[in-house]
Amino acid sequence: MNQGLPLLPLYLVDFFGAGLMIVLSLLAVRQARRLTRLDPESVLWAYLFWLSIAMVAFALSRSVGHILRFVLVLTGFPSVWQTLAPYSGGFNSLAFAAVAALTFSFYNMHRVFARIREDADKLAAAHRELGNAHADLHKLNQHLEDRVTVRTLELTLSEQKFRRLFEGSKDMIFFCDTTGRVSDINDSGVELLGYEHRREVVGKPLATLFADEEKWSQYYCKLNSVGHIMDFEVEFLRRDGSRLYMMITASAILDANRNLQGCEAIAKDMTRFREVTERLIQSENMASVGQLAAGVAHEINTPLGIILGYTQLLKEDFEQQPEVFDTLQIVEKQTKICKRIVADLLKFSRHTTSGEMTSSSVNHCIEEVLSVVEHSLNMDHIYVQREFADNLPEVVVDRERMRQVLVNMFTNAHHAIGAEGIVGVWSRYNESCREMEIIIGDTGSGIEPTVIGRIFDPFFTTKGVGTGTGLGLSVSFGIIKDFGGRIEVQSPPRDPELVEAGMHTAFHIVLPVETAGDTG
């Protein structure tokens, strides 16, 4: 060292350079630390930070070794330095090896961190996608709730419309299940069938409502094979045994395998329409027969008058010859019968002269007729049950012809009973329709359904030979029609009061209520 005084500047540079190395390495560590705090996930800043740490270690090891060497040599302890020098060099080598290791491992570390970053990016992307999906799902859920609310409202409105149609329809609407039983029916259907409550109909086999078993078989087979039925005509049985003429339109309810699970149907009551149609046909037939009867009556009336006149003249000539006289009496009797038939024909054809139309009391007309026919009824133990309404308005009729109608009705009831029974007479007023109704019922055997539609036909009768001509009801029908009214027959009656009275047949004579001035 003494001979090296000229090297003092170099030593000073080495000494102060070692110190500067320490300071710079510490500053590098500080800067690297600041960078890692700004971006903790950066691999490069992490690498530089640890590299700076390693450089600090290397700088400390080398600089401290140099400074310590100068201090020990200058103070006279070179032997101590000789002892510490290997350790200082080894530590320097380790520090430099650490720097080298960090440098060489940076590439692998970078790849690892890149993979980590890639995975992190993918995870972040997946997280973003999951967030977006969650947002879309939340949005869809909100829209779904709105759509469900709207759809529920639409279904509620649709159900309300269907329920109003189901409950408010005047036609019969019903549903059946897999067993063919009625599962539901509207109030109109319950009323048409004559029941009071829906529970009385629900559960009943539909087949029991059909009056004809063959019709039920046709209905079921067609519904099962075709799947629907249009305008199927059938008669339904009401609770009281009467019949309803219905027209059904039905659709089958099928499962996924096309098996019949039930049906839904609408049935329209065509009973009134059928009655009106039959009455119209009957009126047309009677009009045709009336025209024919008028011609025949006029043609027959003249020769019958001649026969009757000559017979009466011959009776005067043969009064002393009993056999001839009796024969002429028979001829006269039969001729008069023929003239009476001709007179009925003329009345039926409405070619006879009508009397004066006047306001008349219905109850008074009935009592006048009963005063004549009631005795003959009582002779056969047939009694008259009167149910007259009070304070009835008068009707405008030909009183003589009205009496004729009532006589025909009471006579018809007498023949229907034969002996021992009741004839019921009711008078009523329907203020809403302004119609007077006379009901004449009897406890006879009733009228067969097969012939009830023909009883007003001319010459049709169910009486024995010689008992009637079959013109009484036809003539009565024509007279009431002339008065602007109508005659209806029910066998058995539908009116509960008549049923309770034991009536088996009821004729309803309906007359319009009007003043005498209304007819002019």
In terms of domains, do 400 and 427 share one? yes
| 220 class by beta-carbon count within 10 Å (0-12 exposed, 13-18 middle, 19+ buried) | middle
For residue range 117-150, list pLDDT tens digits in order: 677 778 888 888 888 887 877 777 767 767 777 7
Look up the CATH number of the domain holding residue 223.
Answer: 3.30.450.20
Please say whether the beta carbons of 182 and 206 come within 8 A. Answer: yes
Residue 166 inside a domain? The answer is no
How far is it, in rounded angstroms, from Cα 177 to Cα 206?
10
Q: Which tokens is 14 given?
A: 């080495």
In terms of domains, do 282 and 396 share one? no
- The answer to which of 60-69, 171-180, 190-199 has the lowest mean pLDDT is 60-69
Please say whether the beta carbons of 307 and 335 come within 8 A. Answer: yes
Other CB atoms within 10 Å distance of the CB of residue 425? 22
Residue 425 has pLDDT above 90, yes or no: yes
pLDDT at 293: 65
Look up the CATH number of the domain holding residue 291.
Answer: 1.10.287
Residue 81 structural domain: 5-136
pTM over 0.85: no
Other CB atoms within 10 Å distance of the CB of residue 256? 5
For residue range 302-339, list pLDDT tens digits in order: 787 888 888 888 888 888 888 888 888 888 888 887 77
Residue 231 has pLDDT above 60, yes or no: yes
In terms of domains, do 126 and 177 share one? no
Sign of CA dihedral 509, 514, 518, 520: positive
Share of the chain above pLDDT 70, in %: 68
In terms of domains, do 243 and 292 share one? no
In terms of domains, do 300 and 214 share one? no
In terms of domains, do 227 and 325 share one? no
In terms of domains, do 387 and 338 share one? no
In terms of domains, do 320 and 418 share one? no
Please say whether the beta carbons of 470 and 459 come within 8 A. Answer: yes
3-state secondary structure 147-192: HHHHHHHHHHHHHHHHHHHHHHCCCEEEEECCCCEEEEECHHHHHH
In terms of domains, do 250 and 379 share one? no
How many domains would you assign to the chain? 4
Question: Which of 301, 319, 348 lies at the terminal end of a domain, its last residue?
Answer: 348
Helix, strand and coil percent figures for the chain, each rounded to 5: 60, 15, 20
Picking from 46, 55, 8, the residue whose alpha carbon sits closest to that of residue 27 is 55
In terms of domains, do 506 and 367 share one? yes
CA 179 distance to own-chain centroid: 20
In terms of domains, do 280 and 413 share one? no
Look up the CATH number of the domain holding residue 419.
Answer: 3.30.565.10
- C-alpha separations of 126 from 42, 118, 135, 138, 492 in Å: 22, 12, 14, 18, 86
How far is it, in rounded angstroms, from Cα 476 to Cα 408?
7
In terms of domains, do 336 and 370 share one? no
